[in-house]
Amino acid sequence: EETAFGAEIVSNLYSNYIKSSSEDVYITTACPSVNLFIQKYFPSITKFMLPFVSPMIAHSRVIRKKYNNPFVVFIGPCIGKKLEKEDFQTEDAIDAVLTFDEMTHWLKEEEIDFNSLEPESFDTDASLRGKIFPFSGGILKGLKNQDCMNEYEIISVDGEEMCRDTFTSIENGELKKVIVEANFCKGGCIGGPCLRNNQGIFTKKLEVKDYAKDAVYEISDKKIFDIDFTKYYFDRSLKPLNPSEEDIKNILSSMGKFSEKDELNCGVCGYNTCKEKAMAIYAGMAEPSMC
């Protein structure tokens, strides 16, 4: 089955939630990497995260209701899905996650020529709203026709830099009445790290659009059973460490820095100052030999 089916479910959950609530900001939660990024580094804005599972989890829960004791495998371009599978709120939903790279490698090991196989249709139909989820702007494109969106500015951000900038603005109270579609990979899921080929982002986007063009906008008779799709997002920030001056002095000495004159602050190690590097060593994120 195609997880675009789960994407349409999530799109409907977003629309209904926004209609019935009155937050100044809403942030989509389809991207597990974005979700963890916010929870770790911007915990004050978790209250704006739409409280639902991703399309992968939504779809897998429907599959578990439809079939008798299925073994559910998700295949996609996202390495973040592997971590999402292990989350305590969703670990019962899916049995295995494979990336497209892993699938390609497996086929080669088994000496199966993918291009020689006959294509088959998916067992479950998916709508246009679901099929366009993979590229940046695709989630919100499915929401734009909803009346509840009229009073909000709808923005799409992708890539770590844009996400960080946008979340900082939200944290500082600079953005109001916005619905933010956030993807950690540039271009959205089609820019995922485990979809390696020579095509550019826009080529991939056009291919997805071409694939989806004949799909109906919405499938109204979907059976989603009595399933709970909610998920709660909370503060997972790393608590700051407080080394003593003696600790830092000892670490600096291990780096050959015995006085302030020795602290060149050259930045070659990737840290702005020698003291920053010493703090990173204290936190277990760097080694003295990297100096």
Q: Report yes or no: 79 and 194 within 8 Å, Cβ to Cβ.
A: yes
Pair (142, 269) in one structural domain:
no
Pair (193, 273) in one structural domain:
no
Pair (57, 166) in one structural domain:
yes
Pair (200, 263) in one structural domain:
no
d(CA 241, CA 46): 23
pLDDT surpasses 80 at 202: no
Pair (69, 178) in one structural domain:
yes
Region 48-62: what's the mean pLDDT? 95
- For residue 212, what are the CA distances in angstroms to 4, 77, 130, 196, 245? 10, 18, 9, 21, 60
Pair (208, 256) in one structural domain:
no
Indicate whether 167 belongs to any domain: yes
d(CA 202, CA 179): 24
How many domains in the chain? 2
Where does a domain end: 196, 212, 228? Answer: 212
Q: Report yes or no: 243 and 282 within 8 Å, Cβ to Cβ.
A: yes
Where does a domain end: 212, 232, 254? Answer: 212
Query: What mean pLDDT, rounded, does the chain reach?
Result: 86
Region 253-281: what's the mean pLDDT? 89
Indicate whether 201 belongs to any domain: yes
Pair (187, 139) in one structural domain:
yes
d(CA 168, CA 182): 13
CB-based burial, 167-200: b 16+ in 10 Å, e otherwise:
beebbeeebeebbbbbbbbebbbbbbebbeeeee
Backbone φ and ψ for 132, nearest 5 degrees, come out as -90, 5
Region 126-155: what's the mean pLDDT? 73
Instruction: Find the domain containing 286 and state its range.
Output: 245-290
Where does a domain end: 212, 237, 270? Answer: 212
Pair (156, 272) in one structural domain:
no
d(CA 153, CA 98): 36
Indicate whether 222 belongs to any domain: no
pTM, two decimals, is 0.78
Predicted pLDDT of residue 146 = 64
Indicate whether 234 belongs to any domain: no
Pair (121, 252) in one structural domain:
no
Indicate whether 63 belongs to any domain: yes
Q: Which two tokens stand for residue 170?
A: 């939200």
Pair (68, 26) in one structural domain:
yes
Three-state secondary structure of the chain: CCCHHHHHHHHHHHHHHHHHCCCCEEECCCCHHHHHHHHHHCHHHHHHECCECCHHHHHHHHHHHHCCCCCCEEEECCCHHHHHHCCCCCCCCCCEEEEHHHHHHHHHHCCCCHHHCCCCCCCCCCCHHHHCCCECCHHHHCCCCCHHHCCCEEEEEECHHHHHHHHHHHHCCCCCCEEEEEECCCCEHHHCCCCCCCCCHHHHHHHHHHHHCCCCCCCCCCCCCCCCCECCCCCCCCCCCCCCHHHHHHHHHHCCCCCHHHCCCCCCCCCCCHHHHHHHHHCCCCCHHHC
Q: For 33-37, 109-113, 143-147, which range has the lowest pLDDT when averaged over its residues?
A: 143-147
Indicate whether 232 belongs to any domain: no
Pair (167, 29) in one structural domain:
yes
Predicted pLDDT of residue 225 = 64
Indicate whether 156 belongs to any domain: yes
Pair (141, 13) in one structural domain:
yes
Q: For 63-77, 150-164, 171-185, 207-221, which range has the lowest pLDDT when averaged over its residues?
A: 207-221
Q: For 75-89, 152-166, 203-217, 234-248, which range has the lowest pLDDT when averaged over its residues?
A: 203-217
Predicted pLDDT of residue 267 = 84
Looking at per-residue pLDDT, the higher value among 126 and 281 belongs to: 281
Indicate whether 237 belongs to any domain: no
